[in-house]
Amino acid sequence: MRRGSGALIYVVIFLVIAFGIVYVLRQSSQPSESYTYSEIMQYFDNYEVSKYSFDLGTGKLKMTVSPEGGEEKDIEYTVPNVNIFLDEIQSSEFGDNYREAYN
């Protein structure tokens, strides 16, 4: 083995660590408001969601809410359970879901 190959390994390790630190710092520098699942569902219950998109694969929910008397805002939230979320916001063919019946 050559002598220079050991230095190359150290350079690669240094670069990986440097990119990792930059990634973590970029992620933590983006302020994001934290929501609970019940707060998200409250927007749907109160008919304050003007539009939304939902990724079934990742569970990422992007929605625009317009609270009464407030200004419109965009919210991003990762739903903990895709199936339960879909059951709660959609009606089934056998009748209303429990959330609609409750309201």
Q: Which residues pair with 61 in a beta bridge?
A: 54, 77
Q: Angle at Cα 103 formed by Cα 53 and Cα 52, nearest 5°? A: 5
Among residues 67, 65, 72, the alpha carbon closest in space to that of 51 is found at 65
Both tokens assigned to 27: 């992620």
Q: What is the pTM of this model?
A: 0.57
Tens-digit pLDDT string for the chain (103 aa): 566 678 888 999 999 999 989 888 776 655 557 889 999 998 888 888 888 999 999 999 999 998 877 788 899 999 999 998 888 877 544 455 555 555 5
Q: Which residues pair with 80 in a beta bridge?
A: none
> Could you identify the residue written with the tokens 């934290």?
34
Identify residue 75 by its one-letter amino acid code. I
